[in-house]
Every structure is written in C-alpha cells, then in structure tokens.
Structure 1
Amino acid sequence: MSIPSLTSLPSMDDVAAVAPALAAYTAEALDADVWTRPGLSVRDRCIVTVSVLIAKAQLPGLPHYFAKALDSGVTPSELSEIITHLAFYTGWMNAYAAVAPLAASLAERGMSPMPLPATPSRLLPLDEETEARRAAMVEQNLGDVAPGVVRYTTELIFRDLWLRPDLAPRDRSLVTVCALTATAQVAQISFHLDRAMDNGLTRAEASEVFTHLAFYTGWPAVMSALPVVKDVFASRRK
C-alpha cells in the first residue's frame, strides 16, 4: 500500500486498504447511485460539491472536483466567481485556499480563467423594491448593533457581488445555500433558499441538492437544515 498524499484524494486502492467499507460505499452508493440520480444535473452536483469543499476548507478534494466540474460544463469564469462569492459567505482565507487548486486544475488542461474585471462594466439589473425592503429590515434589526456590517451587506454583497454577471443568479444562490448548510448556518438558509427558488431553482432540484449534500457535509448538517427547507416549501405553496 502506498502512503496517500495529504494534498489530494487517495486512490480507491488506498481507501480500500484502510477502510474497505468506505470504498464500497463510495463505489456503490456515491459514485454509481448519487451522482447518477436524475433530479440534478452533473454540472449542478459539481457546483454543490465544490461549494462544500471550499466552505469546509477540504482542500485535498478540490483538484479532483474542479476537474470534474470543468469536464461537466462549469466554466473557469464560473469557478472563479464561486471562489469570490464564497469569500463573503465562508471567509476570505477559505477562498484564498481554493486559488492554488483551481490554478493547478486549469494549468493541467492548458486553460486559464477568462479575464474577469475586478469591477464588471455592467452589473445585472437590481430589483430596487425587493432590495429596499431587505435593506430596511436589516437596518431596523441590526443598524444600531453593527452599522459597518449593515453597510457592507448592502454596498458590497447585495448591490455588487450578487449582481456580478459571470455566475447566474440561480447558481449563485445554489452556491450560497450549499455553503450555509455545510457551515451549519441554519438561520440563514430560509432567506437564501427562498431566493434560490425565486432565481429558478425548482423544488425538485432543491430537494435533490440536500440529498447530495448529505454525502458531502454529513447527515447531521442536512437533517438540521431540513425543517427549514420544509418551511420554505410550505410557504411557497401558499
């Protein structure tokens, strides 16, 4: 048996040598079943998985899943935007840690990120009415507690980051929901799952997202999130 690298995924032979049941579950349940379920495209499953790995700083898995994402139709520009987006939702250093694995995955394919400007020449249109309601609610609840957070939430996140055009709003929402679940930020899931469905994520897709997440975030994180998901689904039926 070889000694597995600490910076990349172990081979299935190495997994089988140390944890044969894990190897069997990987082959039979995860690879042959979960990844082939029809409720969510392989492209979306790659976005879900990459988002979790960045959110949880699980760097050894990133080269493999960046490669799988690129092979499944996720563009270098979209992966660049996912990393940037997750800096705000899981922390700057988690985003920085994902830079080298993505650069290596692109270099192996002779690719490079599309030249993305730090500030796009044109942002996506803003729903002024919805954003005004959100901003007013946050200001009322938190403005006297942390005015800096309130300011940056409006200026940087909802009037800038969410309007960057190189990641579709639906996919940006998908990334956010996955990161919140992975980091057990249950209180934030309701708003962002509802927003994801407004942005085009279907109920069937949302359900399948949490099935996929169970394998990459662990059952407790998903089971803790599901009551919130249930409430969102119920509220949207009314």
Structure 2
Amino acid sequence: MSNQKFISTTPTFDDIQAVAPALKDFTKDDLLGKVWGKKELSPRDRSIITLAAVITRNLQAELPPMLVLAIENGVKFAEISEIITHLAFYAGWGNAMSAILPTKKIFEKYQVDTALLPKSDDELLPIDENAEAQRAEFVEEAFGCTSAGVVKNTTDYLFRNLWLRSALAPRDRSLVTVAALIAAGQVAQIPYHLNRALDNGLTQVQASEVLTHLAFYAGWPNIFSSLTVFKEVFANRKK
C-alpha cells in the first residue's frame, strides 16, 4: 500500500479509512506491520507467493503495489516476467494477460531492458528422466483414454519445457505454483506440487507459513480447504 504513486486506482490508506476504517487498521497494523515481517519466510518469498495469488485471482488494485514491493524485496524483473509466463499455464491465459499492462507500466517506470527478459528459447535445466518417466506413465494410465491431448501437452509444454526454464529457480517455481493452487482453491492439485516444492528445497515450516500469509490474500476458506491436504502431505513424508 506504500507505493500509491504507481497507479491512481490503488486505494490509499485515506481511501480505505473513508470506507472501512477497521480494514485500514488491519491492513496497516497487522498485514503489513506484522505478517510481512515474520521470519518464517523471507520478504522475497512473501512477494513471490503474493504476486502469484494476486495474479491468479486477478486482483487488479493489488498488483501494482505488490510488483513494486517485489522489486524492492529482491525479485528480479526477469523473475517477474517468468512468474507471469508460468501462471498462464497454472492460472489461465486470461489472468496472465490481465497482469501484462499493469506490469508493463511498472517496468517502464524502472526502465527495464526488455531484451534481457526470458525468451521462449531460453536455456533449459537438466531433467530427471526417471522421475519424469514415472510421472508421464502415471498420467497416461490415469487419463490417456480421457484426453490424450491434455496428457501430451502436459508432458510437452509443462514438464519438458516450462518446469525446466532457468528464469526461475525450481524452488521459486514451486512456490508460485503452490500459491496459485491455494489462491484458486484447487486443492486436488496441491499434494503433487507441495511434495515437489518440498523436494525442491522448501521446508515444512516455510510451507506452513505460505498458508498463514496467503490467508490474507486468498481468504480463510481457501486456506482451510488446503490445511487438510498440507496435513496429509506432511504426515506422509514422515513415514
């Protein structure tokens, strides 16, 4: 909320005070004053998951200040670009496209060199062929007869391309994905991606804090729907 100069439609604290004084206090004192300062996640991690949630939920008023805060918290321009690209696949093309013009305005204010942003032919990270073969076999057996096109595109576009793009570290890409699934209420998809996030270096304490943080951006009902899934994943990993 501190970067009001970037877009006129973003409410100021005075605007919020004029409509919902209690919400202004909750926002200033609790969300920004306490939650964002908790040590379980770094400010950079908090910015990554907040951007993912804001874009997934198409929260236009929140996007510009969250973009500026992400930049201040060390999220690189190339990483912001790649977050939007990644979310096109996990939150839908429309939500990603809705983020383009607000982000373009912020990039222009920072004079971002677009030649340095990730391209479609950027270098890919090495793939774990055994793990990918197991994933592909499972999906083929489960859904190949239902939609061969979805199964093929999942392999070709997601797991042999998007997930290997080097513009986002695997842990960051997992953070974006898990945050998007929580924000969209897609609890059935969380177990695979939460396990992947933990395999990619996210700790259980950090994963738990993702829920705490996103309660304010995705709403408590989405968090409580996710809690059972997180609990099961944590328990299964201890076995």
Whether the TM-score (by the shorter chain) exceeds 0.5 is: yes
2:44 counterpart residue number: 43
In the superposition, the TM-score normalised over structure 1's length comes to: 0.95
1:117 counterpart residue number: 119
**Aligned-pair CA distance for 1:7:** 6.7
Contact 2:81 / 2:117 at 8 angstroms: preserved in 1? no
Distance 2:205 2:150 in 1: 34
- Structure 1 vs Structure 2 CA RMSD: 1.1
Give structure 1 stretches of 5+ with no counterpart: 1-5
Residue 19 in structure 1 maps to residue 20 in structure 2? yes
> Using a 3 Å threshold, how does the CA distance of structure 1 residues 8 and 42 change in structure 2: closer, same or farther?
farther
Distance 1:83 1:27 in 2: 27
In the superposition, the TM-score normalised over structure 2's length comes to: 0.95
Contact 1:8 / 1:63 at 8 angstroms: preserved in 2? no
Residues paired across the two proteins, number: 232
SS at match of 1:8: coil
Residue type of the alignment partner of 2:234:
F
SS at match of 1:60: coil
- Pairing 1:176-215 to 2, within 5 Å after superposition: 176-215=177-216
- Pairing 1:80-99 to 2, within 5 Å after superposition: 80-99=81-100
1:65 counterpart residue number: 66
**Aligned-pair CA distance for 1:9:** 2.0
Q: Using the TM superposition, name which of 74-83 and 103-112 deviates more.
A: 103-112
**Identity percentage over the alignment?**
50
Give structure 2 stretches of 5+ with no counterpart: 1-6
Distance 2:127 2:151 in 1: 18
**Aligned-pair CA distance for 1:24:** 0.8
SS at match of 2:62: helix
- Pairing 1:158-173 to 2, within 5 Å after superposition: 158-173=159-174
**Aligned-pair CA distance for 1:119:** 1.2
**Aligned-pair CA distance for 1:117:** 2.1
1:134 counterpart residue number: 135
